[in-house]
Amino acid sequence: MTTLAQLRKTALSHPEATEGGARGAPVFAAGGEEFASLDSDGAVRLRLPAAEAEDMVSQHPTARRNGDFVRLPIKDINGQALNYWVRRAWLSCAPGELAERAAAADRADAGGVGDLPKAIGRPATRALANAGITTLDQVAELSDADLGAMHGVGPKAVRILREALENR
């Protein structure tokens, strides 16, 4: 079962995503525009372009259109699908430059971004590129905790990055 903790982690993993809300109902925004929230009934609400909203409704029997949003009980969506749809919602609200950088990061291959080592793998490469980090000099400015907090950057990638910095 997917939880608020996973929704929060996924939503806040995107550049410049913020959390607000009132009375314990979290609302996640990008560029001042809400892209995801969890209502008091335990339903996640995602702002999606019309075609993607229809796609989500067709894939999830309990999903319903609600104005500019699709509403779905959080218990009815698995974590991987939630991650995908939250990303799509974030992309629909993110400022243009951020959305373009994220789209480029989605296409990034390990070893193909700046001087980041290929050995960190595709997920870590994409996570770093999505955050605008393309060089080891930029990595050097981050703590291990900062790196590990990025969705896709695990302990192995952090170790490889630190080794690459030491070997420079």
Bridge-based pairing of strands 64-66 and 69-73 is antiparallel
Structure tokens at 6: 């996973």
Structure tokens at 65: 């259109």
End-to-end CA distance of the chain: 44
CATH number for the domain whose boundaries are 4-101 = 3.90.1150.30
pLDDT tens by residue, 89-117: 999 999 888 888 887 877 788 888 889 99
Neighbours of 131 (CB within 10 A): 21
What residue ranges of the chain are covered by domains with CATH 1.10.150? Answer: 108-167
The pTM of the full predicted model, rounded to 2 decimals, is 0.74
pLDDT tens by residue, 132-165: 898 999 999 999 999 988 888 999 999 999 999 9
Task: Give CA separation, 41 vs 25, 33, 95, in Å.
Answer: 10, 22, 30
Helix, coil or strand: residue 104? helix
The fold of 108-167 is DNA polymerase; domain 1 (1.10.150)
